[in-house]
Amino acid sequence: MGAAGSKLEKALGDQFPEGERYFGLENFGNTCYCNSVLQALYFCVPFREQLLDYYANNKSIGDVEENLLTCLADLFSQISSQKKKTGVIAPKRFVQRLKKQNELFRSYMHQDAHEFLNFLLNELVDILEKEAQAVKSDPETSSPSDKIANGPKNAQANGALKEPLVTWVHKNFQGILTNETRCLRCETVTARDETFFDLSLDIEQNSSITSCLKNFSSTETLNAEDKFFCDKCCSLQEAQKRMKIKKPPHILVIHLKRFKYIEQLGRYKKLSYRVVFPLELKLSNTMEDADSEYSLFAVVVHVGSGPNHGHYTFFGSAQEYSSNTDHGYILFYECLGSTSNKS
């Protein structure tokens, strides 16, 4: 490992980002899905920095219960504090806690990296919200823990309703989608907002991420059996429906829907379509009011022909995140063979 590490350092030379650590994670049989996501999150600089702040504020508190958040913070702290610039670390404590937390991850079956990311982010949010509520209910709580959620304190003034807690996980990954439906008879527009941590995009042959995003926000006509019930008309009417991004997240996670259920086969089949992805991505096709530009800093790749087997790898760099824009995006990308091409 030392020789490999020195070769990597020599290959990067002066381009090696100052203060960065490039560490691989040891695979415990089938934990490539977990390792690839953890590496992607580590190279998400704002998330990493806030997680390390959390670790610094809470490591001296003796009664902090071990959970996925503390295990992840401990792992990131181990990596960032290494004297060597490259190497390998075994995320044993985190994996043990993950298996203890959720029985789905206890077997040696192949797991989905995208589903794991969703589980992890939601679990981190739950932990932060519970800790913030505990701080609020205990006025004697020490000041370091008061920074746990890194969000508003939700104090109620004059009986006003409290605002929902916004954690640093929300601040990094959460965006808002608007689902607009226009009745074609009375032209009334019904809008419904929903939050999201990631976008799952349908793909087509010889397409691109930009075209997939455009299709995601394309107008769909609701007719025949799919007519929309208009509250103003008080009846089912033909309508046009569109999904658009109302508030883009700071970190955009894009998942390509590579697996499609084929009824004739009775199973999922992997779509070996060529999808081009850019290093700089604009959301002009999915937003009306503003253009948001994102730099690609992490790609999680699944190599294999089916959903129940294969291997996950990670490609990325913290330097790419901060090179041209304050926004970054993570891409979950699947391929059937070699991972050497960006297509």
Catalytic residues: 32, 311
Asked if residues 241 and 228 have their Cβ atoms less than 8 Å apart, the reply is yes
Burial category of 228 from C-beta neighbours within 10 Å (exposed 0-12, middle 13-18, buried 19 and up): buried
CA dihedral 65, 67, 69, 73 (to 10 degrees): 70
Between CA 299 and CA 332 the distance in angstroms is: 6
Asked if residues 67 and 54 have their Cβ atoms less than 8 Å apart, the reply is no
Q: Which helix (H) or strand (E) holds 105?
A: none
Residue 107 CB contacts under 8 Å (≥ 6 apart), including other chains: none
Between CA 122 and CA 174 the distance in angstroms is: 11
Between CA 188 and CA 2 the distance in angstroms is: 66
304: which 2 tokens?
A: 């294999």
CA dihedral 40, 42, 47, 48 (to 10 degrees): 180
Alpha-carbon separation of residue 341 from 50, 111, 130, 213, 334 (angstroms): 33, 24, 44, 21, 12
